[in-house]
Structure 1
Amino acid sequence: MTASNLPEDYGSLLLEVKERIRAGQYQALRAVNKELIGLYWDIGRMIAQRQEYEGWGRSVVERLSDDLQLEFPGIKGFSVQNLWYMRQFYQEYHDNEKLQPLVGEISWSHNLVIMSRCKDPLEREFYIRMTRKFGWSRSVLVHQIENRSYEKTLLGQTNFDKALTPELRAQAKLAVRDEYTFDFLELGEEHSERELERALIGRVEDFLRAMGGLFAFVGSQFRLEVEDREYFIDLLLFHRRLRCLVAIELKIGEFQPEFVGKMQFYLAALDHRVREEGENPSIGIILCKEKNRTIVEYALQSSTSPIGVATYRTVRELPRELRDQLPGPEEIARLLEDGE
């Protein structure tokens, strides 16, 4: 059949079929991955139990590796090192009923990264859930761990609890961090807001990755016209999962309370003049070089627009003492579960 003889709605049919095939491929890959993780879990369990009850040593595991590779020459994953990883995988998680079902949702390579670099169960849960939610590649996951996204996300200062609906607030909290690391920028310690903006735009892919994923770039110096007056938002993004515009104001100094009023104005204008039907309320991020957490808390108390205040660094650095300010385990667990 030639193109001219095709029915008018053939294009929509083709699109639907393609989407269904992609969905089927994704489900198949998920099923294969879950089966592989289950296989590695069982092998790790058998090795660990034999070692405990029968005193297996390293030489037995080495022989097991040789025999498995000989028996299954086309299947990778039975190296000595990987067999030891399987044993460690089982030992690390077999007593944790909450994490057991989650580890099958991400790949083996992602599990190895999290298992080796994170020791706290809640931190592991955070990175497992975020990897699954945002589809992080292995390299992005490593980058997120090295930049300590766990702490930076949970320390976030926002007013989302009162400014967003219950359906959105947990997702938004996970999307907006307390601090962002732009170590890819070639900027001196002293720089202007315009220099910072230009540098971020010049490395926009790195910038969006540093923001945590699922952001799309809309524009810089985004123009708003209100009553014949022009206003410009430094950076405007769109968060695909939250389905909302995200306005970012760049400040090279310390946070000032009046920044909140200006951001509220921008968000109101975006919602009335730019937001499309079906999109959620716009969110604002005030990105400063420094902030006093108490001043930020007071400044956000009376704001009804969803705003977060964060800091940025151009080097990887986060004071260890901030770990003491993390929410309690119950609050962290609730946030992760509500954000699904």
Structure 2
Amino acid sequence: MKNMASNQTSFIQDIRIIIETGRTNAIKSVDLCRVKMYWNIGKRIFEEEQQGKERADYGTYLLANLAKALEPEYGSGFSKRQLERARQFYRLYPIASTLRTQLNWSQYKLLISISDKDKREYYELEAAHNLWTSRELERQLNSHLYERLLSSNDKESVLAVARGERMPDSPVEIIKDPMYLEFLGLECKPQYYEKDLESSIISHITEFMLEMGKGFSFVARQQRILIEEDEFFADLVFYNRLLRCFTIIEIKTHKLTHQDLGQLQMYVNYYDRCVKLAEESPTIGILLCTAKNDTMVKMSLPEDNKNILTSQYQLYLPSKEQLIEQVNEVKQTVQTKTGKAKM
């Protein structure tokens, strides 16, 4: 009887999987059909406009009349604004075979709003390869992921990784500074306990790993480290399959101190000497803090340090103007250093 019950349970589970797979495939099929529909609409509009190219206002006239005819019958998905998007969609993606089956129309609408070709390509590749939802793509755009990566990497390197032409070979190609944790939903209060911030991150672990970057998987929280009779606990431990290394994150709800760096260095040394395998890369340590003194960080760590990183966290997304200012400051610093090195 037990075998019969077990077989019945397995049978029901198999049917559930078939149903869920069918539903998922149906949704994907509908999404792909919608993308192709708007592409074909854009293509047809473009072709019709070309016939009336002698009149500068012909395109506006054409779209207005088309929307007037279609919207009452088919709804707001065929408004003048949507038709303009369809036309722009075709102009940016004139070859149908280049359309990505992983992306839906909502995602393409976000992509065609990006005027910079390289930036648009980056988000398109990342969304497709990482299977981002529309919401995740929008969040990465709003958090200015591309600009943050450019603040510590050159454009060619960032695009090469996105295109799969090369693998990231250093932590700075993945880890971002600052990190934006607006998804935690925490108010900007003067003080938070580290355990509260850590608990909130665990509750939003998927969003946190998306913010961290590519290739991370969660390993442990409050990982016990025993050194002779002394007990220590690392806040968060991850593993990055691209860099093939452990990543230890220490959370500090105060301005970074040299004692914090010393503590994290000890955790990294322990993992390098007692945990990691010979074929794995050196452990990365990240101090997540509210503020830091970059000069103090450099003076506290060896000159050839590549694996202890610091990143400020913010509980809100910056405005575009704020981010541009931050990126320009970083670029100015890099240019100054480069100029001194050449001299």
Specify the TM-score bucket, using the shorter chain as the normaliser.
0.5 to 0.7
Letter in 1 for 2:44: M
Q: Within 5 A, what are the aligned runs for 1:317-332?
A: 317=318, 318-324=322-328, 325=330
1:138 maps to which residue? 134
| 1:47 Cα deviation from its structure 2 partner | 1.0
Counterparts in 2 of 1:170 and 1:101: CA distance versus 1, 3 Å: farther
Q: Compute the TM-score of the two structures, normalised by the length of structure 1.
A: 0.66
Q: Please tell me whether the aligned partners of residues 182 and 207 of structure 1 are also in contact (alpha carbons under 8 angstroms).
A: no
RMSD, matched Cα? 4.7
Question: Matched residues in 2 for 1:53 and 1:143: separation?
Answer: 40
Whether 1:180 and 2:176 are equivalent positions in the alignment is no
Q: Please tell me whether the aligned partners of residues 156 and 176 of structure 1 are also in contact (alpha carbons under 8 angstroms).
A: no
Letter in 2 for 1:323: V
Whether 1:40 and 2:51 are equivalent positions in the alignment is no
Letter in 2 for 1:308: L
Question: Quick check: 293-302 or 139-148, which moved more?
Answer: 293-302
Counterparts in 2 of 1:108 and 1:312: CA distance versus 1, 3 Å: same
Q: Please tell me whether the aligned partners of residues 103 and 111 of structure 1 are also in contact (alpha carbons under 8 angstroms).
A: no
Letter in 1 for 2:288: L
| 1:131 Cα deviation from its structure 2 partner | 2.1
The percent of aligned pairs where both chains have the same amino acid is: 25
Q: Deviations over 1:250-297 (max 9, x none)?
A: 2321464x7555434323434666679999865432213334556657
SS of alignment partner, residue 284 of structure 1: strand
Long gaps (5+) in structure 1: 328-340
Letter in 1 for 2:210: G
2:286 maps to which residue? 285
Q: Deviations over 1:32-58 (max 9, x none)?
A: 644543332232122123223315444
| 1:311 Cα deviation from its structure 2 partner | 1.3
| 1:201 Cα deviation from its structure 2 partner | 1.3
Letter in 2 for 1:82: Q
Question: Matched residues in 1 for 2:276 and 2:197: separation?
Answer: 27
Q: Please tell me whether the aligned partners of residues 260 and 303 of structure 1 are also in contact (alpha carbons under 8 angstroms).
A: no
Q: Deviations over 1:45-74 (max 9, x none)?
A: 221232233154445334444666788x6x
SS of alignment partner, residue 103 of structure 2: coil
Question: Matched residues in 2 for 1:178 and 1:63: separation?
Answer: 49
2:161 maps to which residue? none
2:84 maps to which residue? 84
| 1:87 Cα deviation from its structure 2 partner | 0.8
Question: Matched residues in 1 for 2:180 and 2:46: separation?
Answer: 40
Question: Matched residues in 1 for 2:295 and 2:135: separation?
Answer: 35
Question: Matched residues in 1 for 2:244 and 2:26: separation?
Answer: 27
Letter in 2 for 1:60: L
Question: Matched residues in 1 for 2:281 and 2:207: separation?
Answer: 22
Question: Matched residues in 1 for 2:312 and 2:205: separation?
Answer: 14
| 1:248 Cα deviation from its structure 2 partner | 0.8
Letter in 2 for 1:212: L
Between 1 and 2, higher relative CO (CA 8 Å, sep ≥ 6) is seen in: 1
Q: Please tell me whether the aligned partners of residues 179 and 313 of structure 1 are also in contact (alpha carbons under 8 angstroms).
A: yes
SS of alignment partner, residue 185 of structure 1: coil
Q: Within 5 A, what are the aligned runs for 1:226-245?
A: 226-237=227-238, 245=246
Q: Please tell me whether the aligned partners of residues 246 and 284 of structure 1 are also in contact (alpha carbons under 8 angstroms).
A: yes
1:330 maps to which residue? none
**Equivalent residue for 1:109, pick from 97, 102, 106:** 106
Q: Compute the TM-score of the two structures, normalised by the length of structure 2.
A: 0.66
Counterparts in 2 of 1:244 and 1:20: CA distance versus 1, 3 Å: farther
SS of alignment partner, residue 315 of structure 1: coil
Q: Deviations over 1:103-127 (max 9, x none)?
A: 55411101212333x3322222222
| 1:314 Cα deviation from its structure 2 partner | 2.8
| 1:82 Cα deviation from its structure 2 partner | 1.8
Question: Matched residues in 1 for 2:102 and 2:267: separation?
Answer: 39
2:207 maps to which residue? 209
Q: Deviations over 1:76-108 (max 9, x none)?
A: 8434332221012223444xx8x9836554111
Counterparts in 2 of 1:3 and 1:268: CA distance versus 1, 3 Å: farther
Q: Deviations over 1:135-179 (max 9, x none)?
A: 33323322222222222233359xxx9xxxx98636965642121
Counterparts in 2 of 1:21 and 1:278: CA distance versus 1, 3 Å: farther
SS of alignment partner, residue 78 of structure 2: coil
| 1:30 Cα deviation from its structure 2 partner | 5.3
Question: Matched residues in 2 for 1:35 and 1:326: separation?
Answer: 43
Whether 1:315 and 2:316 are equivalent positions in the alignment is yes
SS of alignment partner, residue 122 of structure 2: helix
Question: Matched residues in 2 for 1:89 and 1:139: separation?
Answer: 20
1:61 maps to which residue? 63
Long gaps (5+) in structure 2: 158-164, 333-343
